[in-house]
Amino acid sequence: MSEESNPISSLWPLVPSEAADWLLELCGDGITGFMPPAMPDAVWVLNAMYEHKQGPADVSYHEYHQARLADGSVQPHVVGGIDFDAVGIATGGGLGRSQHPGPGWRRLRWAELARRTGVAVVPDGLMPSYLCFPTAKKEGSWPLGMVPPTEGSLDRETWNRLIAILTQFSPAGPDTRCLAYYNPMTLGAIDLDNRHARAGRIGDAEILYGRSEADFSPSNLWAEDRSWVLCTDYDLWGTKVAGPPALINALLNDMEIEAVRLPWAH
């Protein structure tokens, strides 16, 4: 899609890659996203996961996929002579944007699953990722009755709520000028040298989720005055939000967003 035909170009036009230079200086390499330090505080917003109202199934995604391969319902995924279905595991996880699965499903809080499985929400020393909840999976594959968090992007509902809260803590409310950066991995890794950044109003941030050229929420979004910044790393199941304590406390106490402090990743 050309920039001229891109529906977000009028509200969030491209800006020179130098707009993200400060993040490069602050955080280092941003190939999967610029991960900021606390500014002065920080919190992790967790991507949503879901569970079917009938509960988790005994069958895992991998077992189900293998059964479909056996009966011919699906064909093996073979690339370059390598049968990836024979050497890999169908985990049930995804990459990029996601949203509520629809009727029959409910949101499953990380804290609830942690209590159920007897593990920490995020184990010490780790960040929110596929390494969490090992006991909830069968040989690395999630139960069919669960939809685990996706990597690299906020889910739609969490994105919308997070933007609403960020708007409340932005200097000009919905008119606050913000910048968005998409890491090269979200754009197919076709340009590793130029940083892809856009500028617009936080009041128009919804279009960044649903109409972007990337199938991901922005890797970084920040207020132009740098009063807050968020990072959604390509490899993680959560978004780090750095900013003033009042913003961080609002996220921790929100009824819709699930957020946690990770002292080792502060």
Contact 240, 42 (CB under 8 A): yes
**pTM of this structure:** 0.93
Among 1-15, 194-208, 217-231, the range scoring the smallest mean pLDDT is 1-15
pLDDT at 138: 92
Q: What is the pLDDT of residues 151-203, one digit of tens each?
A: 999 999 999 999 999 999 999 999 999 999 999 999 987 777 788 999 999 99
Report, as an integer, the average pLDDT of 236-244.
98
pLDDT > 80? residue 141: yes
Find which of 72-76, 84-88, 247-251 is predicted with most confidence, using mean pLDDT: 247-251
Higher pLDDT: 88 or 252? It is 252
Among 28-32, 72-76, 158-162, the range scoring the smallest mean pLDDT is 72-76
pLDDT > 60? residue 3: no
pLDDT > 80? residue 101: yes
pLDDT > 90? residue 75: no
pLDDT > 90? residue 123: yes
Q: What is the pLDDT of residues 76-99, one digit of tens each?
A: 887 887 877 777 888 999 999 999
Among 174-188, 210-224, 229-243, 251-265, the range scoring the smallest mean pLDDT is 210-224
pLDDT at 105: 96
Cα 263 to Cα 266: distance, rounded to the nearest angstrom: 5
pLDDT > 90? residue 9: no
Query: Nearest Cα to 158, choosing from 193, 107, 119, 202?
Result: 107
pLDDT > 80? residue 57: no
Q: How confident is the model at residue 1 (pLDDT cuts 50, 70, 90)?
A: low
Mean pLDDT score of the chain = 92
pLDDT at 109: 98
pLDDT > 70? residue 251: yes
Q: How confident is the model at residue 67 (pLDDT cuts 50, 70, 90)?
A: confident
